[in-house]
Chains A and B, each alone.
Chain A
Amino acid sequence: EVKLLESGGGLVQPGGSLNLSCAASGFDFSRYWMSWARQAPGKGQEWIGEINPGSSTINYTPSLKDKFIISRDNAKNTLYLQMSKVRSEDTALYYCARRYYYGGYFDVWGAGTTVTVSS
């Protein structure tokens, strides 16, 4: 079964940092582009960025480029999101998603991990 499982969410103070992980199973992780997205309370989904299989190309939504870093470890079948300089507006459910092999949409999502930014 194809699965994505996010972890690492929690409470973080404003200005702090947090690292999220996404463990993949049931497919050849090393062949797929992977993305992070988030959904703030009461708002729609927001795409954060994506990374190609070899980590040579990483695309971000421009407004988040300076505070989030996406990386991956294909040997561990794991995707990462490093969050820094967080603010209250970064409070959200964070999802990892697999990009369909032949297209730009996302065909598999994890259930998400919650990040709360508060003092």
Chain B
Amino acid sequence: DIQMAQSPSSLSASLGGKVTITCKASQDIKKYIAWYQHKPGRGPRLLIHYTSTLQPGIPSRFSGSGSGRDYSFSISNLEPEDVATYYCLQYDNLLRTFGGGTKLEIK
């Protein structure tokens, strides 16, 4: 299995600020990483795939980067509706694996 070490597990930031979440894979995943936003009572929402490609309708405040084993996801100009848990998913391997999640709070 490819392990995805996601950090931090939680963070708090100010409205209008910027946060960055990282995922480190246990092996090269060739940019096959997606990022999701998950709010209670809903299914995860796909934000980004293939490291940095935004889904249609996702604001450009969301961004992703990385290569090899190291990937990051950022949200700028934080808004109240960004409160959620964020997950990475590697899909380089048939056995898809997720990061442990990052719970974002807004101060």
Contact = CB atoms under 8 A, between A and B. Distances in A.
Given A103-B91, A105-B89, A105-B91, A111 B99 contact: no
A55 B96 CA distance: 19
A95 interface: yes
B87 interface: yes
A108 B94 CA distance: 18
Contact of B49 (A4, A35, A103, A112): A103
A47 B97 contact: yes
Contacts of A35: 96
A97 B46 CA distance: 11
B49 A45 contact: no
Interface of A: 4, 35, 43-47, 59, 61-62, 95, 97, 100, 103-112
Nearest to A60: B95
A62 B94 CA distance: 11
Most interface-central of B6, B43, B99 (chain A CB within 10 A): B43
B43 A95 contact: yes
Given A61-B95, A105-B34, A107-B46, 19 more contacts: A4-B43, A44-B98, A44-B99, A44-B101, A45-B44, A45-B101, A47-B98, A97-B44, A100-B49, A104-B94, A104-B96, A105-B32, A105-B49, A105-B89, A105-B96, A107-B49, A108-B43, A110-B43, A111-B43
B54 to A, nearest CB: 13
